[in-house]
Amino acid sequence: MGGRAGAGAFVRAVRRVVLGALVGVAFACPFAAAFGSTLRASSSSRAVPLLDTTPWLASVQAPKSPFFTRESDAEGVSFHFKNSGRYVAKGGEVVVSESADGDMWLGGMVHATYIDRAGAATSGWLVRSHLQPVRTPTRAPGWDGRWRSSEGARRLIVRGDRVSYSFMGGGAQSRVEMLLRMRPVSDAEATLSRAQASDGVCDLDVRRLDDYLVVTARDCFIHGVNPEGILRRQR
């Protein structure tokens, strides 16, 4: 990832509106025949607010909710959803957040990530009506501890205001480890700042959702590196 990692928010917002308009085309595919009624039901008053990309924690209410992948059609103008064969069982918690393309919701679908207790992550699109928002504790436990995810082999350790964050890199950097300082903004939000380094500076925003941590880049100028991801606290 080169240049400013946090740039392009406005462009992504416009894309969401355009893609949302194309969802009707996607529902014309065979997927709609099997799931059309479910998807129509999910486009209700409980749908994710337009352009709201704040991550949120949800619990699966269906007996099991399959993950779908978004597949572009040959012309690249429209897309459809394909069942990946993976699913989350009832009661499983997922973090709803933006995909790598910057999309969070498309019609009756939302992008979500499930991380098991071993740290193995599964991401994809879930039917929105299968999910119920989870109220995070008013008094959440402290930031201190170990957080991890198999996605990019991410490891984040917090001790007071000192943070060690390591993950898979790219090119000559097979693995990146950054030492940062934490500045809490609220009980659920904080910023992580890296001191000047030869390979570039990196400021991150972190949002805590109970036992989950969503890391997003504010300003990150390290070539070939994507620090963004979702991690789970290790007990």
The model's pLDDT over 99-129, given as tens digits with 9 standing for 90+, comes to 988 899 998 999 999 999 888 999 999 999 9
Could you give the C-alpha distances from 122 to 98, 105, 118, 193, 232, in angstroms and in order?
14, 17, 12, 28, 12
Residues 6+ apart with CB under 8 A from 7: none
Residue 128 and residue 163 share a domain: no
HSE toward the beta carbon, residue 134, CA cutoff 13 A: 22
Query: How far apart (Å, rounded) are the C-alpha atoms in residues 103 and 20?
Result: 10
Domains in the chain, number: 2
The pLDDT, as a whole number, for residue 210 is 92
Residue 208 and residue 185 share a domain: yes
Rg (CA), the chain: 18
HSE toward the beta carbon, residue 29, CA cutoff 13 A: 16
Give SS3 for 65. strand
**Among 76, 99, 133, where does a domain finish?**
133
The pLDDT, as a whole number, for residue 17 is 44
Q: Which regions in the chain score pLDDT beneath 70? A: 1-51, 138-140, 170-172, 196-199
Quick check: is 13 in a domain?
yes
pTM: 0.76
The pLDDT, as a whole number, for residue 221 is 78
Question: What CATH code is carried by the domain that includes residue 100?
Answer: 2.30.30.40
Residue 127 and residue 152 share a domain: no
The pLDDT, as a whole number, for residue 44 is 37
Residue 208 and residue 104 share a domain: no
Q: 201 is in which domain, residue-wise? A: 145-233
Query: How far apart (Å, rounded) are the C-alpha atoms in residues 121 and 151?
Result: 6
Residue 214 and residue 124 share a domain: no
Quick check: is 228 in a domain?
yes
Residue 175 and residue 124 share a domain: no
In the 8-state DSSP scheme, what is residue 87? Answer: E
**Contact predicate 164/145, CB 8 Å:** no
Quick check: is 100 in a domain?
yes
> How confident is the model over 52-61, as pLDDT tens digits?
789 999 999 9
**Contact predicate 144/158, CB 8 Å:** yes
Residue 217 and residue 115 share a domain: no
Quick check: is 138 in a domain?
no
Query: How far apart (Å, rounded) are the C-alpha atoms in residues 78 and 60?
Result: 28
The pLDDT, as a whole number, for residue 139 is 62
**Contact predicate 129/41, CB 8 Å:** yes
**Contact predicate 156/144, CB 8 Å:** no
The pLDDT, as a whole number, for residue 33 is 37
Residue 43 and residue 157 share a domain: no
Q: Is 42 exposed, middle or buried (0-12, 13-18, 19+ CB in 10 A)?
A: buried
